[in-house]
Structure 1
Amino acid sequence: MVHPGRADDGTLAAVYVIRGESAGDPAFRARFARETQPARRVANRWVVPVLGADGEAAEPWLATAFLPVPSLVGAVAEHGPLPSATVRSLGRLLAEALTESRKPGCRARRCSGSVRDMSSPESDESGAFGHAVSPLNH
């Protein structure tokens, strides 16, 4: 479950809460804890920062900065095919973000071809953490 939130400093946040079977699965909880700690160390302007996490909570959670950007699917649906220069730029920036997440002491956060659109803070769809910032909006 993903909920809108706000950090103590006012930063908008997307709070991922683990519920149901996963919250009660010791193997899942251990993996969640292992992956959230290194995710905090990924520092790259194209990777959404982790604001906090608690893998020991009754319902483990992870909070990332919320960035109101469209999904790639949404951008293409609204504006049509991306120009080749934009696609090359996206590829280069994705490679930069993935390179940063593979540095020693870091572990790549989950990536998914179906990463959901986070443009609506009211959305409660579940999704993977590790969303990249869209360079289309910068």
Structure 2
Amino acid sequence: MNYILFDGPYRNNLLPFTFTRPVADIRIGILTIREKWEAHLGYTTTTITEDYLSDKFPMVEMEENILINASFLPNVELVEMVKNLEENQAIFKGEEVIAFYTKEAQDDIDFSKLEALEFEDDILK
């Protein structure tokens, strides 16, 4: 599976940190958000970020992708839901997208057509 971390709607709230890096590369404690996700998933990740950062932080898109909002920190329950996502499913916390599985280009996503799974546990973001 190909996991892609995306900046999400809170990127601008995290300025000036996100002027020079994606949300996924902000350090929280000793690890970055990316390193936390990679440790939980057991896979490397790539990033969707601002165009001016994409040369330094390129995205790799494959046939099957799970996109994860980097504003959310992983925990055991959330990672289990992400790993069990099937095509055309998305995980939401209220109105916010946490993650979704797609075979389409990331620009072509219509969230209203995805099966919504609600994440019920407490979450850090």
Higher helix share: 1
- When normalised by structure 1's length, the TM-score is 0.28
TM-score normalised by the chain length of structure 2 = 0.30
The structure whose RCO (Cα within 8 Å, separation 6+) is larger is 1
The structure having more radius of gyration, on CA atoms, is 1
